[in-house]
A and B are shown apart, each in its own frame.
Chain A
């Protein structure tokens, strides 16, 4: 067997690592003996996401592969070791420890270093660059004694650095020499929008500023500019560009460019054919590529060609000018630039959308015949970036109204025509970091039966670089499975092979009324904490029986008809329709709260919450509340909670309708109805919207002529405004639409899916929903209304039933063999009331 070829890689950054990975994948072990020499003290890490280090991502998480990976694959990894000389004639390199390493092929992946302009005073303490984990550690430690930081350089990396100093709690200034931010990626208008956004976040931007010298004694105290202005800061991060690390190559007599960079041909060979250069140190046709994707492509080319020279099969690959498109999130602001962003020398027409209010700027450069996209710029919203980039790369024919591609997408409306992954050709590159095409991904999904995005990542490596293509992977998966006749079905859990919508239909058709019947007829096993409450909710939505009759399948709150709180006590929320309450009712609440020593809190939904009730106290408390006319508020259920209202025209001088009266009517109409998730509503008496109806599942705002109905909003983790569904409705029409809407949602949503999420996934969006509910396009409105009518007629106050039914009431005990309360409950005093002691 031939001796393995000796491959030595100088530089263990992202590209150097990727080269090793690719060479191993192509050649397998044995054909090459690989040695990697890196000057940093640790194996290669993800420099693209370096800023994540500030927000708590650990070095381990950033590491491309641990040292053990190199060992397992037979790679000799030397970290913390510098190569001092290359000897091209004798084919070896010499390191600073005096180690002599021979090679057959040498790969230079030396990367680049931060460019530090020779400004007087740059050597002072407190001046940093932003490149390595050591730099970041130094910045973090120095920042503890600093309060104002300046970042020199308003490019990509500079803004990343600014985010870092902002995150460290420093007043942050960005100094840019050019008249705009990110001059290589953005035009003046786009950069202006970005500047406004950055300023709104508290970053101060100084443009057209040329630093003359750094002020201060041993430590930096400020910057003096050429225009005789100055800025007092106690820390500076220099991010004025990168310089290729070509010093080793230069010293070895290899060709380097006049402004730096190791000259390479299309096969990435330097002027010595046994020495290659890849990544940021390579100068290809006058270009230095400072992005990771072209670096990976270079690694691919060299790995391929080296393998070829041994295996003697396949085709020689070469490197071509690479797309510099990029998308990133800068301090929460999406910025993208793709294709030819400026089109300085290409005839074109532009389509520009600018919304200063929302901070969105989008520019498309289109061929003068309007058929093809050349490139563009996106600031503030870049959701369509992947598709737009694909349209450029594949020279796809633009849809008839290309402006639709950049018009802001409203929730619920489908994106512009021709925007689906289905329209992409098979050779469209989906993951540009790893250069993986749509064809490859789809083949993997089909050939290897991949079922989720994680599997696609693992199998194809797509989406493992910057991660920007992950949403497209998910779309491709759905698309491919659909083509195969498979659906990505959301089944309830291991016990039911159906989606909630299917289950709902099956239960209704089969007339099953208990969990056991449903399980026997449609499921398997014993059930679990996922399917039991889901089936319980469906049974309640269909039959509206007393839920306490099947207590053990209810989630704990529904089982005890109260909200469990820390310590295991419960809270009690009586219904207060529309938030309208009499003085007597308030007194009654106070009396009960006092008697049972309950902590009192006004809720966000205009009700009173009484905390700290022990399980055995609940029936007694409710007995007293029912006596004075209160009913269950269903605060514990996935059901209608509250219909909040403002005071409306009965008192308010601005009101145009009786908001409270209408809220009371609505709340009493829908109370007790169980749904896939909780339902909240509100009625505002005028356009000032004091009841915050637009944040509700269904919200109603008075107009001079009637009511505007808003649907599918929510607060919570991901707040979303409700959308205007219909305007100027009369009382009864508005209610008719709500009846239909609620039933439609109840019948078709996933378990625990709020109306907003349901709506976002509703194919056809708002127009479709209007068609179904207003125009009865599915012909189901009569049925929906009938089902709603049934639920309203069968309403019962479930606490009254619980208190009056001895076998239900008997379950409210802590012990079954003792009358005693739970002796472990402990409370402490807080602002004159009690609270549970800490857990």
Chain B
């Protein structure tokens, strides 16, 4: 009883929130420090861009993991961090794009244009980021209230977005399938779990209707 009270103490909840908020900034701090101390070798531009993109993916996958973890393992405590993790995914995806634009192509318009028209992996990546923006904007409680049922529908866009991100990774393969295997199987599990739940619910509903 005492433990439960302690676990739900506002101070602890606030501390948790801040810890996660700061922890999610660590990758950015780390790579900035590495760049600042010239520890990234001959091609820091690519190192930074790849690293930020990777973290965008980890966080997006993290935000998708929360529902299955809550439902399957009862980790209800994670639920209130979902928005922050999702917003961080958008944040890292944006820094990933900024790093690409600044460090790799130096904002040369002609290079940006060929990248966005010819490089398929860049097209799907840019599309994923573009679609993430309305989700970020409507992530507040106010928008949730205003959009009502449509809010859930809108935020289900995260499923096609995650598939676009996976495609972005697939089309970046040079030799090794390891990344795609790892991220693909995790995503398959997280999306498969949702489909399975939905099917079960439908089966249960039809069973109760027929009885």
Q: Do A and B bind each other?
A: no
Please list the residues of chain A having a beta carbon within 8 angstroms of any beta carbon in chain B.
Answer: none
